Chain A
Amino acid sequence: MTLGHESDHDVVIDVHHLTKKFDGRAVVRDLSMQVKRGQIYGFLGPNGSGKTTTIRMLCGLLTPDEGTGTCLGYDLRTQTDQIKTQVGYMTQRFSLYQDLSVRENLEFIARIYGIDKPSAAARAAVERLGLTGRENQLAGELSGGWKQRLALGACTLSGPQLLLLDEPTAGVDPKARREFWNEIHALAANGLTVLVSTHYMDEAERCHEIAYIAYGELLARGTVQEVIEQSHLTTFIVSSANGTGLAELTHELTGRAGVDMVAPFGTSLHVSGRDAKALEATIAPYREHKALEWKRSAPSLEDVFIDLMSKSRDNFQ
């Protein structure tokens, strides 16, 4: 691998205008992104937004229809063999052999990557992953959290430079999720680059940088703070005792001028709009209600994403 200059060395993923179509329908459109070495890059978006497709293009499982790019300096179209030796990919669905034991799965992977002494490597991984005592259990019989640990262990076994994790924490309990993220940060601290896709907003906030993708298009990217600032969204939080009157208010405000989004959160309501003046004019009469308490606030990441998504859908249709 020869690299031109130092700045190139820092960019692990560098893709431009990637497009992927299935049956004539673009699942990923004109996607460009750069990920720097040692970063934890969050890849967010709703179901079916093209996250998995993008990740599969990055690790050579899918060929882009249009666009160019490199992963670890290797061309996405012509050097997928080289990419595969240095990328660890954790699939969305558990895709290790359910009828092999934990140890057998790890040994299999170690052999394919040509690791010396595969049994020793598998044994070491079992210890690292805290799977000691379960190494002879069949992978299919593990619980969700342990399966996820095994899958993470499997994709890091070969010592990759880049990890691609596709919704790694789906269906995993909060404690296991937190431990998982601690691991990811520890790996990144060692210089590993991690691209992780997720639905969870709290996980987005654990990333160094995020990209939001919906309907195949990359809609926003940057740090969490930058993404929120870029949104130009005005948000009010309305609360009332026990949430009384909020359902009616939701009904009345939805679809009114300046109101782009009304979303209930327990005993409060998030009312957001892109046009601050129009929003304020619409809600002005409701601010007089004694039972309702209005407070202007920064939009949450979720508000921003839902807004981006509805905006994108408007363009899409």
Chain B
Amino acid sequence: MTHILPTTAPRRSRGDGFLRKTWAVLIKEFIQLKRDRVSFAMIIMIPLIQLMLFGYAINTNPRDLPTAVLFQEHNDLTRSIVAALQNTRYFKVTEFPANEVELDKLLASGKVLFAIEIPANFERAVRRGDKPAMWVAADATDPVAAGSALGALGMAVQTALAHDRAVPAAQPQMPFEIRSHARYNPAGQTQLNIVPGLVGTILTMTMLVFTALSVTREIERGTMETLLAMPITPIEIMFGKIIPYVFVGFAQASLIIFIGVFLFGVPIIGNLAVLAALSTLFIACNLATGYTFSTVAQNQLQAMQMTLMYFLPNILLSGFMFPFAGMPVWAQWIGEALPLTHYLRIVRSIMLKGSSVSDLHYDAAAMFVLMLVAMAVAVMRFRRTLD
């Protein structure tokens, strides 16, 4: 205590010391960065993970698109055609419906992107050289995914069948006709695909940010201490923080959809009430996810970093920017874990295809489960004490 002052006055360097002072700040920043392990990890992990993830996952020329084939007759030729379709690698025949109603339903629910119908007496007509028609309906809500596959369809099938003994040899032209029909978005307008997608993407971003800061803000401002000292439970705090933004999100969703309809001419073929209900579920799901980040993050900066980190896969792996069906299976699994993936299917299906709840129950259930998981994690992570 008695020797606080130095015994000799310290020497000081002359001059303005611009470099020295800059250096002092630089060292301080590095030390702080080193202490902030999350930021440090982000610097390395964000480029690494994102590059690996998206470098491999994104494919604008999609493969293995789910396809349903309705056979009105079974024989070597029809089998060859299916094999040829698979060989193009654009198509993967996953469903064999029994009738046209089922076929339509598969396309409407989004289970398949292509519905192919081979009519009765097809083989006989081919042998006679009548050039019968094979019907192909494509789900063009995502014109990118549908377009390239349809383009490749004719040539690929012909090449594949060239050496097939079921087809009469030395036939210069296509032995049958392919009548393709782009459903739901016949003109292939990209905005019909993009605008409903934007509803989901914008909601994801804004909703996450609303709640991602809510708990960390209370901790950083010191108000959490007062809150925790009062008789209130984590669930009460969570619902109290999420519910106001459900209304905000609903207003926002209405605005985007309104603009989409009146400015971009996107139709709403399906039920508006169903769209509103499922949009509300999606909003709540995102708010719950943001709230979870808020309980995991140490401070507001970390919460924002997590939000960004989460937002990128939402953009790239949900089917918003690139066809979902074209991604490798592991990337599709990541996509299935994102609420946006399910909401995009819902919003596109309702607006463009007029799908009903029964077509969409899987995606609605998936969003609900994701919301419950996020809430459960948030309640478990919420620290009731300052320990």
Contact = CB atoms under 8 A, between A and B. Distances in A.
A87 B226 CA distance: 12
Interface stretch (B38-46, B217-225, B308-316): B217-225
Contact of B386 (A62, A84, A112): A62
B358 interface: no
Specify which of B223, B231, B232, B385 lies most central, judged by the most chain A CB atoms within 10 Å of its CB. Answer: B231
A95 B230 contact: no
B2 interface: yes
A60 B231 CA distance: 10
- Give the bracket for the number of chain A residues in contact with chain B: 20 to 34
Given A81-B231, A87-B229, A60 B385 contact: yes
A98 B221 contact: yes
B366 interface: no
B231 A113 contact: yes
Contacts of A95: 221-226
A96 B386 contact: no
Contacts, number: 49
A109 B225 contact: no
B228 interface: yes
Interface string B199-239: 00000000000000000000001111110111110000000
A94 interface: yes
Interface in A49-66: 56, 59-63
Given A60-B385, A62-B386, A91 B222 contact: yes
A185 B230 CA distance: 24
B2 A56 contact: no
B16 interface: no
A113 B230 contact: yes
B386 A109 contact: no
Given A91-B226, A95-B225, A95-B226, A112 B385 contact: no
Given A60-B385, A61-B385, A254-B2, A91 B230 contact: no
Given A60-B385, A95-B223, A112 B2 contact: no
Nearest to A263: B1
Contacts of A178: none
B29 to A, nearest CB: 25
A63 B385 CA distance: 7
Contacts of B385: 60-63
A97 interface: yes
Contacts of B2: 251, 254
A85 B386 CA distance: 18
Contacts of B228: 61
B226 A63 contact: no
A62 B228 CA distance: 10
A91 B226 CA distance: 7
B386 A56 contact: yes
A90 B224 CA distance: 13
The 3 closest A-B pairs by CB, nearest first: A89-B229, A95-B222, A84-B231
Interface of A: 56, 59-63, 81, 84-85, 87, 89, 91, 93-98, 109, 112-113, 154, 251, 254
Given A61-B386, A62-B385, A95-B221, 9 more contacts: A60-B229, A61-B225, A62-B387, A84-B229, A95-B225, A96-B226, A97-B223, A98-B221, A112-B230
16 contacts: A61-B385, A62-B386, A62-B387, A63-B387, A84-B229, A85-B231, A91-B229, A93-B225, A95-B222, A95-B225, A96-B223, A98-B221, A112-B230, A113-B230, A154-B226, A251-B2
